[in-house]
Amino acid sequence: MAADSPNRAERMFKRVLIANRGEIALRVIRACRELGVETVAIFSEADRGAPYLEMADEAICVGPAKAADSYLRIDRVISAAEIGNVQAIHPGYGFLSENAHFAEVCRSCNIGFIGPTPEAMAKVGDKTSARNLAREAGVPCVPGSNGIIGSEDEAIRVAREVGFPVLLKATAGGGGKGMRVAVDDAALIPAWQQASAEAQAAFGNPGIYIERYVDRPRHVEVQILGDQHGTMLHLWERDCSTQRRHQKLIEESPSPRLAPATRKAMCEAAVRLAKVAGYHSAGTVEFIVDQQGNFYFIEINARIQVEHPVSEMVTGIDLVKAQIRIAAGEKLGLEQKDVVARGHAIECRINAEDPAANFRPCPGRIEQIIAPGGFGVRFDSHAAAGYVVPPHYDSLVGKLIVHQPTRTEAIATMIRALRELRIQGIKTTVPLHLDILSHSAFRDAEIDTKFVERWLAG
């Protein structure tokens, strides 16, 4: 995206509201600052006085600590946008970011939504509908049902066809909720009922579909970026196989040990799918890769992801600034050949959790924090000395990102930076990351989505 694009000055927003909190709110504030855009932050009572709010031009309280009464309240967020007199809203990730109704309300209030259209979001947000789009775009899906399972007979027929074990997944799913593995006929119906009840409770939608359970897969996702003028590009892939209970811990780019032909095919598949969906803005097309190197589409995330910095580091493209410019109507001004991935980037999620006590959340006051620095190190965090990590939201206190010419060097830099990072007052996942990065399986890139759990169990 050319900084001097001719239509830039008259199109860019004057003021943007950030409908989020924590590190991503700060990330968006920083991008706006650099673009010369004023910012309005929102906060709940639990986040009142948080240091990152001072970085915004204005901060407006939207309600009590409980997210359902504040960050998730569309009426309150829209009121804050009216009071703050903004032209657009950046939703960050989580909260309202993938709520098509919210995007629709923004449109009807004449407030720009920094993300895809509500129509595209609705299409890709429903997982069975996204699977259909993938098929239409010629993108391989995990073998499974054609849509939502309607009866016990159908569940058994499909599961036998694709072969046990199978995974029952919620069509409205996210965050690993509403997912169950079934190993045989007897386990299938109870698993379906449990998954369905969990999906109803979490998403208000009980619909469940079936996929073959892929043994020891890798999670590889493609970053896409498209404008409103028909350009859709990919920013290569991220490997997020280092997870625990479907929660990502470490992300890296490029994906180690991915055959070049597979990498190219996946990235091209992601672009085809985004085009079929009529998608624009930043998004992520997630795949799993089996032990034989076959890749299968699993879902699309219609938002900026937590792990977006690794793609930024290898491509040199600021995804959040790009999102804002795209929403303002600017052209991307890039072609696929301009998106060159250089070196290797790794991100560690620093959570306020105690890895030694079964990852118990550890909210509380940060007495002191010393951020690491030096060549190739980036620390995205809203935490500061005296900051109290509230117990009401996710436990992410920061993301440590490194970028070096090779994976081996990136691992060495990450270990050095993790040792420099001092957070006193709360327990964090820093010791876990140091262990994983020193583990031979990780160093040899012998990773799959279950390797951390196997290692922790052992």
Assigned token pair, 367: 């007495």
The least distance separating ligand ADP from the CB of residue 385, rounded to whole angstroms, comes to: 34
Assigned token pair, 449: 């989505």
Chosen residue from 269, 449, 451, 452 binding ligand ADP by CB under 6 A = 449
Only one of the segments 106-114, 214-222, 412-420, 437-445 lies at the binding site for ligand ADP (rule: CB under 6 A); that segment is 214-222
> How far is the C-alpha of 62 from the C-alpha of 286, rounded, in Å?
33
The least distance separating ligand ADP from the CB of residue 287, rounded to whole angstroms, comes to: 9
Q: At what angle do helices 319-327 and 308-315 cross, to 10 degrees?
A: 100
Nearer to ligand ADP, 38 or 299 (CB): 299
**Residue 395 sits in the site that holds ligand ADP (CB under 6 A):** no
- Positions in 42-71 near ligand ADP (CB under 6 A): none
User: What amino acid is encoded at 59 in this protein?
Assistant: A
Strand-pairing partners, residue 351, are 396
Nearer to ligand ADP, 86 or 396 (CB): 396
DSSP state of 141: B
Report the relative pairing of strands 281-289 and 218-226 from DSSP bridges. Answer: antiparallel
The least distance separating ligand ADP from the CB of residue 171, rounded to whole angstroms, comes to: 10
- Positions in 272-311 near ligand ADP (CB under 6 A): 286, 288, 298-299
The least distance separating ligand ADP from the CB of residue 219, rounded to whole angstroms, comes to: 4
- Positions in 67-106 near ligand ADP (CB under 6 A): none
Chosen residue from 35, 62, 111, 214 binding ligand ADP by CB under 6 A = 214
Chosen residue from 98, 198, 211, 353 binding ligand ADP by CB under 6 A = 211
Chosen residue from 94, 217, 309, 425 binding ligand ADP by CB under 6 A = 217
CA 453 to chain centre: 21
Q: x/- binding map, residues 155-194, to ligand ADP, per CB under 6 A?
A: ------------x-----xxxx------------------
Only one of the segments 211-219, 259-267, 331-339, 438-446 lies at the binding site for ligand ADP (rule: CB under 6 A); that segment is 211-219
Nearer to ligand ADP, 197 or 384 (CB): 197
- Choice among 218, 244, 303, 325 that is catalytic: 303
Q: What burial letters (b/e) apply to 77-91, b meaning 16+ CB within 10 Å?
A: bbebbeebebbbbbb
Considering only CA atoms, which of 353, 357, 348 is closest in space to residue 377? 348
- What residues have CB less than 8 Å from 110, skipping those under 6 apart? none
User: What amino acid is encoded at 330 in this protein?
Assistant: E
Angle at 198 between CA 396 and CA 74, to 5 degrees: 60
Only one of the segments 60-68, 130-138, 210-218, 353-361 lies at the binding site for ligand ADP (rule: CB under 6 A); that segment is 210-218
Using an 8 Å Cβ cutoff, are 132 and 175 in contact?
A: no
Is 303 part of the annotated catalytic residue set?
Answer: yes
- What residues have CB less than 8 Å from 454, skipping those under 6 apart? none
Nearer to ligand ADP, 381 or 449 (CB): 449
> How far is the C-alpha of 75 from the C-alpha of 61, rounded, in Å?
13
The least distance separating ligand ADP from the CB of residue 369, rounded to whole angstroms, comes to: 30
Neighbours of 405 (CB within 10 A): 11
Q: In 52-184, which residue ranges form alpha helices assigned H by DSSP?
A: 74-84, 100-108, 118-125, 127-136, 152-162
**Residue 246 sits in the site that holds ligand ADP (CB under 6 A):** yes
Neighbours of 228 (CB within 10 A): 16
The least distance separating ligand ADP from the CB of residue 174, rounded to whole angstroms, comes to: 4
Assigned token pair, 283: 């998004």
Number of residues this chain uses to bind ligand ADP (CB under 6 A): 18
The least distance separating ligand ADP from the CB of residue 248, rounded to whole angstroms, comes to: 8
Nearer to ligand ADP, 21 or 219 (CB): 219
> How far is the C-alpha of 215 from the C-alpha of 167, rounded, in Å?
11
Strand-pairing partners, residue 90, are 18
The least distance separating ligand ADP from the CB of residue 289, rounded to whole angstroms, comes to: 10
List active site positions: 303
The footprint of ligand ADP (CB under 6 A) covers: 142, 167, 173-176, 211, 213-214, 217, 219, 243, 246, 286, 288, 298-299, 449
